[in-house]
Structure 1
Amino acid sequence: MTRSLLQRALPRTLLARNIALLIVLVMLSQVCVLGVLLHYVQRPRVERAAAVFATYVSTLDNLLAATPLNARSQLTARLDARAQVPAEAFETPPRTFMRGYRLYQRSMFLDSLRAHLPADMPALWQAVDGQRLWIRMHAPADAPNAPYWIALPVPEDAQGSGLDAAILLSLGLGALAALTGYLIQRHLNQPLQELTRAARRVSAGEMPAPLPTDGPTEIAAVSGAFNQMTQALQQAEASRALMLAGISHDIRTPLTKLRLSMAMAMPDGSDSSFVVAAESYLDQIETILQQFMDYAGSGEREQREPGDLNALIERLAGDFAGLGHEFELSLASLPAVPYRPISMMRLLMNLMQNAIVYGGTGLAVRSWATPDSVIVAVGDRGKGLSAQELEQLKAPFQRGRNARSHSGGTGLGLAIVERIARLHGGGLQFHAREGGGLEVWVVLPLNGSMR
């Protein structure tokens, strides 16, 4: 529970965490420095000043006691001696929240002064109209019933004013340390940000330039490992492309020869039902092969371009209309969306083809825009599937129960659609269509972020 609260309290970014840690450490160090300064530097100074001040007070008290009566009256008048202490004088100095260290020093001075003075000579602190100490002197021998109070200036060491500059300097050094730490952390974060951008470019199918490895040892090691990974990915991509090209060539070549051999082997006028069936099977093999090729490729290397999705939808709908499949279009005005043209055409074509094969009726395509995305929905009136079945269709080689009567499929159609949608930073959603049937939504972000 405590760990969970601590995780929620910590900032999310490494930069913010390091800066917060640095500020806390600087504050703790400044508090420790202030404590050491007050206890081991200021305290001896204040106690020494209290001892000297007590000696001065005792000397003044003895001087007043030894002064003749007529001269003592003039002396006490010049010292502003009073029979009663002013109401503004207190046993403890007034508290100040912003400068609590001054209260600490003044209280320490008063305690040390009282320890050096006799118990019958109290000392009071006046903070109004200047800082002063009121000391009650002993009554002279010729006037035993007339004790009087004398105000004396407070020594500088007891007021704590000398600490202002030290504390301000300490705070300034702390702020400078925090700023320096921030700049250092920003400098360390820059390679990490470059690494993040490069990783996103790799996931989007691009190959970024090698990252610099001339920074700190740890960052350089990460950058070097990333460069090795991108090189391995480039080699794997080249090997995959070569393998796919070889498979396509090596399989399609014998298929073509087989078609030619069957056509040449059948005599004229013979029953061609076998040839038609065989060619149908060969077409299925080529379709399956093409689906595997499409799923393996999915257009990672294709460059994205801003374009009009509605125009692409209308063109595909026109092509299907020429084949006898009419789609009802409901297209709203859409902003330009960056997409890969061939991959997006394959995505929409697969969805529309699935609607024709598995829905058959109520074919429709609609599009609209939200503040942060563009949505294209392809619908039909076919038999609906459960939510679990719909999610399973996104995985490769999964076919719905309404597809079991259709041969020639591999279960890769929606997997290809899902992969292309994610390649564009979007996703695939299934929704029940009002009035029956199914709608497949393709959600594309407007900010153009792609994987």
Structure 2
Amino acid sequence: MTRPPWRKLLPRTLLARNIVLLIVLVMLSQIASIVVLLHYVQRPRVERAAAVFATYVTTLDELLAASPPASRAALSARFDAREQLPPEANEAPPHDLLRAYRSYQRGVFLDSLRAHLPADMPARWQSEGAQRLWIRMHAPAVGVSESNAELSAASNGDSNADSSTGARATAPPSAPYWIALPIPADAQGSGLEAAIFLSLGLGVLAALAGYAIQLHLNEPLRELTSAARRVSAGEMPEPLPTGGPAEIAAVGAAFNQMTHALREAEASRALMLAGISHDIRTPLTKLRLSMAMALPEGADGSFVGTAEAYLDQIETILQQFMDYAGSREREQAQPGDLNALIERLAGDFAGLGHDFELSLGALPALRYRPIGMMRLLMNLMQNAIVYGGTGLAVRTWASGGAVTVAVGDRGKGLTAAELEKLKAPFQRGRNARAQSGGTGLGLSIVERIARLHGGGLQFHPRDGGGLEVWVVLPVDAAR
């Protein structure tokens, strides 16, 4: 079944998924809170402030219009009255992505202010330098006209009062002008900034608290994973604690029941293997003695020799079954010299007339089960002798945190599919059909022992013909 593309983006671990979900939920709740705050709390507040400010501006405009010229000039000077709008005044406040909420609040204030002011009283926002609002007023600009006339007279070098009086007389009697007013605090958004930062801080705190809770819940799962791996390696871990949440406790209790059942099955299997070994090998030994004693002196011993060969074959088959059944025995791993074990086995085979060419590289310290590893190497070397016969060789090397043992021969090669099938119990290759006494368990035993050490079995064609069987063992896998 094909997974949807969006599922490929999800983290692989349950802890990471829960943390991502928690962060997303916290972010969505914070965004929803900010939207509600801006739209249903801050916006009405800013609009009310704009309406009050508009009333203040229209009242000031009427006051200036009704004031005597002298008083109007003084008030206009205090409001920095100008006939021309300064260049730093903008139609709208500049946008700032880092403070988008402040730009939003200023925009709401300016739009609401323009809606409450007359159409011929535009408003402009000055953002550079001091933050001010520029409003165009209706009242005659007495102070502005006089100031402009004085500047004109000074530039022409004419300082007599008649010229100044003439300049004042030429000023338009009711020309509109701009005054600068301070921006109300409700339009600044400074209070909202603190609220948003506090909200974000609470969101981060909630995410950290959720992360700590998830770590606490994930600890029993890590213990369960470690215990399951130890069981798969042939060990029996201590019972898991059954405290904590009910769901986790139920999983721990079920795992403890499983390990208890495995212990009982292991004890029954050991008892059965001991019984098989005793009940079958004892009659075979008695049969050998009976045949030897029943044969008269000087009689042809060919029948006895043939019978003993069959008995040897039966014992070999029995031993293979015992090895397969006992390949997961709880033998403790211990440090050892793998090259020394290979040299000792090669010497034993050389004494039987089978010479192995050794090419042993420097290996790091390796922990392995001595009996299991000896059984693994003996099976591979025996298979090379039986099915290859020539070009016997063993190589070792270390790379990438793993140790590799390669046992090769020059026998007839098999396809990759055939070689993979030989890992299953009771499977024999086409080159083994002429051989007798086998059960098809040799490579299954090797595969089991390699997996017991955290490694695996690989098949590779050998340069110049033949086959190499690689056993790849992680350096720190065996426990």
Instruction: Return the TM-score normalized by structure 1.
Output: 0.95
User: What residue number does 1:110 align with?
Assistant: 110
* 1:243 Cα deviation after fit: 1.2
2:477 counterpart of 1:449: yes
Structure 1 counterpart of 2:465, which letter?
G
Mapping for residues 32-43 of structure 1, pairs under 5 Å: 32-43=32-43
**Deviation of 1:330 (Å):** 1.6
After superposition, the C-alpha distances for 1:99-148 in whole angstroms (9 at most, x for unaligned) are 11112111111122122222221111111221111111113499753222
Partner of 2:90: 90
Which residue number in structure 2 is paired with residue 203 of structure 1? 232
Give the number of the structure whose alpha-carbon radius of gyration is greater: 2
What SS does the aligned partner of 1:442 have?
A: strand
- The correspondence of residues 118-267 of structure 1 with structure 2, limited to 5 A, is 118-140=118-140, 144-267=173-296
CA deviation string 1:219-269 (max 9, x = no partner): 111111111111111111111111111111111122222222222322222
Q: How does 1:337-376 map to 2 (within 5 A)?
A: 337-376=366-405
2:333 and 2:478 in contact (8 A); partners too: no
Question: Cα offset for 1:383?
Answer: 2.4
- Superposed, 1:317-336 pairs within 5 Å as 317-336=346-365
Report the Cα distance in structure 1 between the residues aligned to 2:342 and 2:129, rounded to whole angstroms: 87
Is the Cα contact below 8 Å between 2:62 and 2:139 reproduced in 1? no
Distance 1:120 1:158 in 2: 22
State the Cα distance separating 1:33 from its structure 2 match: 0.6
1:280 pairs with 2:309? yes
Instruction: Give, in angstroms, the shift of residue 81 of structure 1.
Output: 1.4
SS in 2 for 1:118: coil
Structure 1 position 91, deviation (Å): 2.2
CA contact (8 A) 1:102 1:160 kept: yes
Residue 37 of structure 1 aligns to which amino acid in structure 2? Answer: L
1:58 aligns with 2:58: yes
Query: Aligned match of 1:293 in 319, 322, 326?
Result: 322
Partner SS for 1:377: strand
**Any idea what SS the aligned residue of 1:98 has?**
helix
Q: Distance in 2 between matches of 1:178 and 1:319?
A: 65
**Contact 1:432–1:439 under 8 Å retained in 2:** yes
1:79 is displaced (CA, Å) by 2.4
C-alpha distance in 1, partners of 2:301/2:108? 116
Give distance in 2, aligned partners of 1:402 and 1:157: 92
CA 1:311–1:117 in structure 2 vs 1: closer, same or farther (change >3 Å)? same
Q: How many angstroms apart in 1 are the aligned matches of 2:89 and 2:2?
A: 50
For the pair 1:422 / 2:451, whether they are aligned, the reply is yes
What's the offset of the Cα at 1:435? 2.4
Residues 51-97 of structure 1: per-residue CA shift (max 9 Å, x gap): 21112112211111111122222222222211122111122111111
1:310 is aligned with what amino acid? N
Per-residue CA distance 1:268-318 (angstroms, 9 max, x = gap): 222222221111111111111110000001143011112111100111111
CA contact (8 A) 2:367 2:478 kept: no
Three-state SS of the structure 1 residue aligned to 2:296 is: coil
**Amino acid paired to 1:136:** R
Identify if the C-alpha distance between structure 1 residues 387 and 129 changes in structure 2 by more than 3 Å, giving closer, same or farther: closer
Instruction: Tell whether the 8 Å contact from 2:64 to 2:139 is kept in structure 1 after alignment.
Output: no
Q: Quick one: which amino acid aligns to residue 194 of structure 1? A: E
Letter of the structure 1 residue corresponding to residue 216 of structure 2: H
Distance 1:344 1:122, change over 3 A: same
Give RMSD over aligned pairs. 1.9
1:270 and 2:299 matched: yes
Note if contact 2:64-2:72 (Cα within 8 Å) is conserved in structure 1: yes
Whole-Å Cα distance in 2 between the matches of residues 325 and 313 of structure 1? 14
Distance 1:111 1:177 in 2: 37
The answer for unaligned runs of 5 or more in structure 2 is 143-171
For the residues of structure 2 that align with 1:439 and 1:115, how far apart are their CA atoms?
88
Q: Paired residues, what number?
A: 450
Query: What one-letter code is carried by the residue in structure 2 that aligns with 1:166?
Result: A
SS at match of 1:99: helix
**1:69–1:383 distance in 2 versus 1, CA, 3 Å:** closer
Q: Is the 8 A contact 1:300 1:423 kept in 2?
A: no
CA distance in 1, matches of 2:119, 2:195: 36
On the 8 A contact 1:299/1:340 being kept in 2, the answer is no
Q: Distance in 2 between matches of 1:15 and 1:386?
A: 43
- Aligned partner of 2:207: which letter? A
Partner of 2:367: helix, strand, or coil? strand
CA 1:116 to 1:2, structure 2 compared with 1: closer, same or farther past 3 Å?
farther
**Offset, 1:152:** 0.7
What letter matches 1:449 in structure 2?
A: A
> Mean alpha-carbon deviation: is it higher for 217-226 or for 250-259?
250-259
Amino acid at match of 1:54: A
Tell me, yes or no, if the aligned pair for 1:427 and 1:444 is still in contact at 8 Å.
yes
**Post-superposition shift, 1:2?**
10
**CA distance in 2: counterparts of 1:141 and 1:38, whole angstroms:** 40
Q: Partners in 2 of 1:380 and 1:401 — Cα distance?
A: 16
1:316 aligned residue = 345
Aligned to 2:167: none
Asked whether the 8 Å contact 1:307–1:339 carries over to 2, the reply is yes
Relative distance call for 1:141 and 1:94 in structure 2 (3 A) is closer
